[in-house]
Amino acid sequence: YSWRVYSGTIDENTILLLHGDGFEDASPNAHAVQNTGVTLSNVKTKFSGTAFSFDGSSWMKFILDEIKWAEDFTLDFWIYHTSAAISYPTPFSLSYPANYYRGYYVHHDWWKNCSIACNTKTTSISNAYTKDKWFHFAYVKSGTTISVYHDGTLVGTLDISSGVSDTSAVNLIIGAMSQYGSPVSDTAILGYMNEIRLSNVARYTANFTPQTEPYNMNFVEFCASNDANAYPDRATHTDG
């Protein structure tokens, strides 16, 4: 019999990491959050004991110097919508503060479609989600393409070859759409979010299996056998 201890890590490409168990940025950057009405709730959670709860008039805002328009990025998260009452609930918006059209955003309309936009370019993805269920989304900017992965499967792309190329710092708003760097109230989501991670690389280039544990968590496992094959290394399943 033995105990095994596994430890995940946060790599140098992790710019922002929010588990949902508090409002502290778990990345080395420790960004300060400007929180408007978001709370922690244990009603619906994916991994930890709590999740971020959005009531249709709440959001979080971060000012990020590490992400530039001309660079690649990945934003991935778990989301649980609870209502279709808002026409364009927007899980996130990455925007250049001075210009409404200069930025990326995504919204899920009440027809259960997902739309992604960059400047004036937009594409829609049909039947990308339903309410009252956890889904994983990853938005990956690689070169001049934004790819959307739904539960690890590529469901749509957007060509942004004539999109933004600015090197300015950006605003990240979680839970609503951004206009001139500030949230648009009628796009605020109703539901929950867990494990929100922003990276400065294109992490996914093909279909993948979403993580099954929180990023950067330690595991202690009791092994009832000394047979290593009977207890495969769980650390290989820790992404982050």
Q: What percent of the chain has pLDDT over 70?
A: 70
The pLDDT value given to residue 181: 63
Residue 49 has a CB neighbour count (10 Å cut-off) of 10
Indicate whether 6 pLDDT > 90: no
Q: SS3 letters for the chain?
A: CEEEEEECCCCCCEEEEECCCCCCCCCCCCCCCEEECCEEECCCCCCCCCEEEEECCCEEEEEECCCCCCCCEEEEEEEEECCCCCCCCCCEEEECCCCCCCEEEEEECCCCCEEEEECCEEEEECCCCCCCCEEEEEEEEECCEEEEEECCEEEEEEECCCCCCCCCCEEEEECCEEECCEEEHHHCCEEEEEEEEEECCCCCCCCCCCCCCCCCCEEEEEECCCCHHHCCCHHHHCCC
Instruction: Reply yes or no on whether the pLDDT at 233 is more than 50.
Output: no
When comparing pLDDT for 117 and 229, which is higher?
A: 117
Give the per-residue pLDDT at 131: 82
What confidence category does residue 203 fall into, taking pLDDT thresholds of 50, 70 and 90? Answer: very high
How does pLDDT run across 205-230, given as a tens digit for each residue?
Answer: 999 999 888 887 544 444 444 444 33
Residue 123 has pLDDT above 80, yes or no: no
User: How far is the C-alpha of 64 from the C-alpha of 53, rounded, in Å?
Assistant: 23
3-12, 27-36, 133-142, 145-154, range with the lowest pLDDT: 3-12
pLDDT for 35 equals 95
pLDDT value, residue 43: 94
Of the listed ranges 21-25, 83-87, 122-126, 222-226, the one predicted with least confidence: 222-226
The average confidence (pLDDT) of the chain is 77
What pLDDT is stored for residue 86 in this prediction?
72
Q: Taking 70 as the threshold, does the pLDDT of residue 65 lie above it? A: yes
Structure confidence at residue 33 as a pLDDT band (50, 70, 90): very high
| Position 39 confidence tier, pLDDT thresholds 50, 70, 90 | very high
Q: What is the pLDDT of residue 227?
A: 41
